[in-house]
Structure 1
Amino acid sequence: MTTAFPLLRLPYLVLLPVLEQMELKERIALSVLSKRARMFLKLLKMKCKYINLILDSGRLEMKVFSDKSEELTVVMYIDEYQLSNMIYRYEGYFTWCNGGPLPVDYAVSIMDVMHCKSINQFIVQDIAEHDCIPIVAKLSKIDEVIVEHISPPNFLSIEALLRKEKILLKVLKIVLPVSSAVTISYHALKPEDLREIIRGNFESVTVRKYSADYMPNHDMKFSLNDLRMTNVRSLEIAGPAFTLEDLNHYFKLWMKKKCDPRLEYLQVATRRWLTVIEIRNLLLKGLNAILHYPIRTDRTFRVLGNLKQVFSEVEDETPFWELDITRADGKTATIRIGSHGTVCFYVCPESPNNTTNLEPSRSSFARKLSFISTFYNSCVNRFK
């Protein structure tokens, strides 16, 4: 009979070198056994680049990327009776734990031992018909929520599909309030639900067309009021969600400072059956925009603190028109119209040609320092 080795009863000076020799997967497996084990492992000060969580039906998959280029996958299951089952999967070796804590408890424990404060990406690939809310109920901070194209199986009834959609909404109501950005498939939610998302207080909202999607839903229209009420800093919509007339009115409201002051970047598709010249005429009516010619295709903008080249991520599209509009307070924005009708609206932080944060140069700083020094010395001499 094999006798269990009392690892955690070793003296601290002996235990720590033993833990240091363990592989990442062994440390993670040990950390979820008890709070005492996790306390010792936290002393190793393990770091990770980021952690992603993937919700696929009733399974939660956790991918840990350490700062030493190591990758670990932990797969956690929950059945229809909400009894948690967990599987560790590495190199064909499986350990089964039945009736323990919920999967999210293990995820939070692993984040704690890896000194990770937030989930990098929470990806929803599919939703189970049974309740999967306990999987995500305790996540505290998420950088980005991604809802991919969820194609319903043909054999599911309408009632089952409605049940899955209801559960997806419940999951999003839990994770969206603790997230900064949202990327969602065009067909994942109804227009009224997407409308609530673009009005949320997010840094970025992207409604995109995944490769598995059909053509964007042309019935999914938003109003001018939806665009006025948005509270995001970056908004990208793949389909023709707004009419050109509404976009034109929005730009006029922006020039009068009567819309969302946080919006820095807007990208939206338009009706493809119009020519680029027709799009320009409808979009810029009454704006007194200044045309840029020739267009600088290498020009970059700063969006959410990152440099971005407009149209670099739009497939088979190049800028066709580039114009500037100016607000009453002197703020400038650039409007770009693509060869396929995509419209990009970028609010310039300083000026149209400035893509970096302005910082005083060494020479200007030295001149200011010299002026201050001269002024100080003159004051001292006067008092003498």
Structure 2
Amino acid sequence: MTTPFPLLRLPRLALIPVFEHMKPIEIIAFSLLSNKAENLVKMLCKITAGSIDVVVRSRYPRITINLGDGTLVELSLYTERGPDVGNKMIQNKTISCEKGSLTVAKLVERIASVTSCESLEYVELRGPLQLEVCNTLTQLTELGTLAVMDDCSDSFAKKAFEIVSTVATEITLYRIPFETRHEFQNFLKSNLNSLYFYSCFSKFTLDDLLVTNALKLKLRQVKLSARVISQFLTNWFHSKCDSRLEHLTLRISDVFNETRIPEVLNAVPFPRNRERTFRYSKKLDTLSESFRGGYDIKRTDGKKATIVFGAFYGGTLFDFYVWPCYSVFRFV
């Protein structure tokens, strides 16, 4: 019969070389044993995480820890007891435990604590509403990306939006969790930072564009017609669109001949051999965007914008930049 080794009874100085021979994932697993184990890890080990990514599934959440040296530590949490699974054990980068003995929220909280990571970089939601995950989100003061996947329930997505919409740098939607146009547009009017649509949502309309209040709106797999884009530009020029929007990027479903830019805009072409840099007013997924050419427009209230076209198979790429008031903007 094997006698368990009383690791927690060792003097602290004796524990240091033990931890030095343990892999980061083993140290993290050790910290989950108890509050005493957590405190020992924080006191005697130095594990620094640059970011933590969480994929929330109803049965087995997956967590990726990006350590300070660039090393990735990946693990999954199984909350259903299987054959030969103890209270808590780690095998093949998987932490297994009895259902109810360790929650996703507690796991993320403990990992963040022992790695000195103050925020989550990426949270991916799948499956039905999980209130204990939402409780974890309420503790965040900063979140890189919240991604709502195809199989995420409407209730889960909406609850997460309520919690992190003001602290998330980016919200990415692979499905639209709203049943009515009114509900959807109320969401679009929120003071979001970056809002990305990767959903085939064919009902995205001109009115949706005009009310969107995010700083950056990216539409992928959502194609609008050249007519809708012309209407949007005209509405913006006449100050009928006065949101926080700084950058709109999308694909036009047909080829947009640049000569079809509405004449009322008085668009001035910028040389294609000269590059310009657009800087966002807040730190988003990137601090700035660089591009060449384009068309500059200026409306009567002094707001200035640039229209940039690109090509892709079967259509046109469209970028619309609204320059902050402090930007240097010159017509050529």
State the TM bucket, normalised to the shorter chain.
Answer: 0.7 to 0.9
1:237 to 208, 219, 232: 219
Residue 289 of structure 2 corresponds to which residue in structure 1? 308
Residue 347 of structure 1 corresponds to which residue in structure 2? 322
Residue 381 of structure 1 corresponds to which residue in structure 2? none
1:336 to 308, 321, 328: 308
- Residues 189, 72 of structure 1: alpha-carbon distance in 2 compared, 3 angstrom cutoff: farther
Cα displacement (A) at 1:119: 0.9
How far apart in 2 are the matches of 1:289 and 1:90? 62
Question: For residue 307 of structure 1, what is the amino acid of its counterpart?
Answer: S
1:248 to 211, 219, 233: 233
2:298 to 321, 326, 342: 326
Question: For residue 185 of structure 1, what is the amino acid of its counterpart?
Answer: Y
Cα distance per residue 1:234-275 (max 9 Å; x no partner): 111222458235412342145x9x612x32211133342xx4
Are 2:147 and 2:171, in contact at CA under 8 Å, matched by a contact in 1? yes
Residue 191 of structure 2 corresponds to which residue in structure 1? 201
Runs of 5+ in structure 1 lacking a partner? 80-84, 152-163, 210-215, 311-318, 354-384
Matches within 5 A, 1:220-299: 220-223=204-207, 226-238=208-220, 239-240=222-223, 243-254=228-239, 259-260=242-243, 262-272=244-254, 275-277=255-257, 280-281=259-260, 283-293=261-271, 295-296=272-273, 299=276
Q: Which has the larger radius of gyration?
A: 1
Are 2:195 and 2:217, in contact at CA under 8 Å, matched by a contact in 1? yes
- Residues 77, 197 of structure 1: alpha-carbon distance in 2 compared, 3 angstrom cutoff: farther
Cα displacement (A) at 1:112: 1.0
Are 2:298 and 2:305, in contact at CA under 8 Å, matched by a contact in 1? yes
- Is 1:32 matched up with 2:13? no
Calculate the TM-score normalised by the size of structure 2.
0.77
Residue 51 of structure 1 corresponds to which residue in structure 2? 52
- Residues 230, 87 of structure 1: alpha-carbon distance in 2 compared, 3 angstrom cutoff: farther
How far apart in 2 are the matches of 1:87 and 1:265? 48
Calculate the TM-score normalised by the size of structure 1.
0.68
Residue 363 of structure 1 corresponds to which residue in structure 2? none
Cα displacement (A) at 1:191: 6.6
Question: For residue 76 of structure 2, what is the amino acid of its counterpart?
Answer: V
How far apart in 2 are the matches of 1:28 and 1:244? 51
Are 1:56 and 1:127, in contact at CA under 8 Å, matched by a contact in 2? yes
Alignment coverage as a number of residue pairs: 308
Question: For residue 144 of structure 1, what is the amino acid of its counterpart?
Answer: T
How far apart in 2 are the matches of 1:91 and 1:297? 53
How far apart in 2 are the matches of 1:50 and 1:337? 35
Give 1 or 2: higher strand fraction: 2
How far apart in 1 are the matches of 2:25 and 2:119? 20
Are 1:334 and 1:352, in contact at CA under 8 Å, matched by a contact in 2? no
Cα displacement (A) at 1:53: 0.5
Are 2:148 and 2:174, in contact at CA under 8 Å, matched by a contact in 1? yes
Residue 357 of structure 1 corresponds to which residue in structure 2? none
Identity of paired residues, percent? 24
- Residues 326, 106 of structure 1: alpha-carbon distance in 2 compared, 3 angstrom cutoff: same
Residue 83 of structure 2 corresponds to which residue in structure 1? none
- Residues 116, 17 of structure 1: alpha-carbon distance in 2 compared, 3 angstrom cutoff: same
3-state SS of paired residue (1:218): coil
Runs of 5+ in structure 2 lacking a partner? 81-85
How far apart in 2 are the matches of 1:178 and 1:28? 27
Cα distance per residue 1:193-220 (max 9 Å; x no partner): 54344322222111125xxxxxx34333
- Residues 166, 108 of structure 1: alpha-carbon distance in 2 compared, 3 angstrom cutoff: same
How far apart in 2 are the matches of 1:49 and 1:41? 18
Cα displacement (A) at 1:108: 1.1
Cα distance per residue 1:304-352 (max 9 Å; x no partner): 4523345xxxxxxxx8x82101245655321113332332111335235
Cα distance per residue 1:64-121 (max 9 Å; x no partner): 1212333222222457xxxxx9976543776433431322211111111111111111
